[in-house]
Amino acid sequence: MMEKVSGRAIVLGDNVDTDQIIPAKYLNTAEPDKLAPHFMENEYPDLAGSIKKGDIIVAGKNFGSGSSREHAVITIKGLGISCIIAESFARIFFRNAINTGIPVIEAKVSANNLEKITVDFRNSRIFCGGKEIEFREYPEFLKNIIESNGLVNYVRSGKW
Amino acid sequence: MSKTAVEKIFSEKSGTDSRAGDYVVANIDYVMANDITAPIAIDAFNDLGMSAKSEKIIIIPDHFIPPKDINSAKQYKKSKDFALDNGTWFYDIGNGGVCHQVMMEKGFAAPGRLIAGADSHTNTYGALSAISTGIGSTEAGVIFATGKMWFKIPETIKINLKGKPSKGVEGKDIILHILSIIKNGGAAYKCMEFSGDIQYIDINERMTMANMTTEAGAKCCFFDTDEKTIEYLNQRNTGEYKIVKSDDNADFEQTIDINMAEIEPSIAIPNSPDNVKHVSEIHEKIDQAYIGSCTNGRIEDIRKAATILKGRKVDRRVRLMVVPASQEVYNQALREGLINTIVESGGYFSGTTCGACLGGYMGVLGPDEVCISSTNRNFIGRMGDKTSKVYLANPSIVAASAILGRIGTPEEI
């Protein structure tokens, strides 16, 4: 697992559901490159095109609610998003992120859109607009999966 | 120590003495995936290079089945080939249907079991006193290989149902009412347990309620087992199962009392299932009326629709689509003459699929179109164009609205 990431904040609101993240009409493929251009297209048609590799999603409550589609995580990975910060996550989205090795952090962060954010995983700190926000460490169990870079690698390592 | 039902089941399946909040690795009785989620699960399974726990795996294509385009056909074929090559359970069109309905009809869902499904509405089997929960694809692939999965044992919200629902109030109305209180995300990571006067709620209505606990963000749902549960299970090939119940003094996160007698026929207006009004407040004109899905596509739902449609005509501006949730439901509707009634009223009756509910195919909405639907979600663009609107209601209200050409109730026709 990486120690630190920095990127521009892509600010989203509460209750962003997986139908918004990737509409079902695109679920006839699971290829990241084909899914990524359609990220949030119903609400923000130009957003996917403006996202740069390394950007960080900063969202409100219940991020990723709705369907179990792992395509939502694949879409976000396909955009090169380095980390997702949300005040809270819907449970299947959270599992998918942990299990496929994309960093997710539960924290309330008020950032301006495109503002620079740095996440220090080692010290559980977020730096944004001159402020420092501490976030809760993962329980040991989840840390092992995250540090293996996902569930498949964790199972392969024989620790399970 | 006293425990909730979900604590007992996770403890047993993980061989531990665990409580809410504990992380466990639990043995899964069954794992289900559909044509959208199975292909990614199969990739994860192949990455592991292990053999399949075939007797635990159920593959049920339903989202884009029959395939709507070449890419869907590839995903379907990948799912089917995996099932046949590994000798897993497999239900194709002709003997399957919407994945959750098939899981219950074929006896996989039964009390005390722990079932994981790569579909968010896996919560549905809580209607039969199983702990069943939606998971992602990668983890489904890991269960294919190991038969196990990690979980955080959820806290339980006890929903104490009191009183008898009024005439015209269905399971859909009860769960919409509860969603209006708990809200989207209000039961996140938790188990919603229904107890109290459940004798007034038939099994099909419990399935509708359990199904939509997902819309509160719940991890799972649990109905107490009663005579109605046993009667349903006795008609299915379930094998052995074990009845589990929460202890009276178990540690519930909260208890919510619901007076079912006070609930009125309800409707969820765009764009969230928790945005609930009395149906009498809404009169919007509609373009499509849809009865089907894992929420309300059962034989009882189709009977209700046929009763309302009999001898009447669907309004000329409305497409009425009735899609049975399984082949078994289809066959029963055929035997009872319900298909004739629906078709003679001007409705469209199709084979099984859940494509329209998620805007996949077979009933996609165009710009500014309005649909009243017996399904479970009305997010922005859920059933089609981002400017289209979806209202959620029980199947009787959907059928009545199809005749009226606008949202309305059976009493108005």
Q: What is the pLDDT of residue A159?
A: 82
Min Cα separation A13/chain B (Å): 14
Nearest 5°: the CA angle B395, B397, B403 is 105
Within a domain: B240 = no
Within a domain: B225 = yes
Q: Choose from B16, B28, B31, B40 for mutation: most chain A CBs within 10 A.
A: B40
Across the interface, whether the CB atoms of B142 and A139 are under 8 A apart is answered no
Give chain A positions within 8 Å (CB) of B37: 68-70
Whether residues B221 and B270 fall in one domain: no
Q: Could you tell me the sign of the dihedral formed by the alpha carbons of B10, B16, B17, B22, in that order?
A: negative
Is residue A150 helix, strand or coil?
A: coil
Q: Could you tell me the sign of the dihedral formed by the alpha carbons of B393, B396, B399, B403, in that order?
A: negative
* pLDDT 10s digits, B102-150: 999 999 999 999 999 999 999 999 999 999 999 999 999 999 999 999 9
Whether residues B148 and B208 fall in one domain: yes
Indicate the Cα dihedral angle A77, A79, A85, A87, nearest 10°.
-100
Q: Looking at residues B179-186, what average pLDDT do you find?
A: 96
Domain boundaries, chain A: 4-156
Whether residues B341 and B324 fall in one domain: yes
Whether residues B251 and B275 fall in one domain: no
Q: Looking at residues A95-119, what average pLDDT do you find?
A: 96
Give chain B positions within 8 Å (CB) of A142: 23
* pLDDT 10s digits, B246-295: 999 999 999 999 999 999 999 999 999 999 999 999 999 999 999 999 99
Whether residues B283 and B208 fall in one domain: no
Q: Looking at residues A30-47, what average pLDDT do you find?
A: 97
The residues, any chain, with a CB within 8 Å of residue B324's CB and separated by 6 or more, are: B97, B292, B297, B299, B302, B330, B333, B349, B351, B352
Whether residues B206 and B290 fall in one domain: no
Q: What is the pLDDT of residue A158?
A: 87
Q: Is B144 exposed, middle or buried (0-12, 13-18, 19+ CB in 10 A)?
A: buried
Whether residues B164 and B312 fall in one domain: no
Q: Which residue of B has its CA nearest to A18?
A: B379
Q: Looking at residues A119-138, what average pLDDT do you find?
A: 95
Whether residues B345 and B317 fall in one domain: yes
pLDDT category at A147 given cuts 50, 70, 90 is confident
- Kindly report the CATH class assigned to A4-156: alpha beta
Put residue B381 in one of left, alpha, beta given phi > 0 → left and psi -120 to 50 → alpha: left
Which B residues in the span 286-325 are in contact with A, Cβ-Cβ below 8 Å?
Answer: none
Site of tokens 């079932």: B115
Verdict on whether the full-model pTM lies above 0.95: yes
ipTM: 0.94
Whether residues B150 and B271 fall in one domain: no
By residue range, what is the domain housing residue B66? Answer: 5-235+246-260
Whether residues B72 and B42 fall in one domain: yes
Within a domain: B203 = yes
Q: Which helix (H) or strand (E) holds A92?
A: helix A91-100
Across the interface, whether the CB atoms of A95 and B146 are under 8 A apart is answered no
pLDDT at position A2 over 80: no
pLDDT at position A1 over 70: no
* pLDDT 10s digits, B320-353: 999 999 999 999 999 999 999 999 999 999 999 9
Q: What is the pLDDT of residue B44?
A: 98
* pLDDT 10s digits, B31-54: 999 999 999 999 999 999 999 999
B114 and B28 in contact (C-beta within 8 Å)?
A: yes
Q: What is the pLDDT of residue B196?
A: 97
Whether residues B334 and B394 fall in one domain: yes
Using alpha carbons only, how large is chain A's radius of gyration in Å?
15
Q: Which residue of B has its CA nearest to A17?
A: B379
* pLDDT 10s digits, A22-33: 999 999 999 999
- CATH code for position B313: 3.30.499.10
Q: Looking at residues A150-159, what average pLDDT do you find?
A: 93
Whether residues B215 and B122 fall in one domain: yes
pLDDT at position B378 over 90: yes
Domain total of chain B: 2
**Paired sense of beta strands B319-322 and B348-349, if any:** parallel
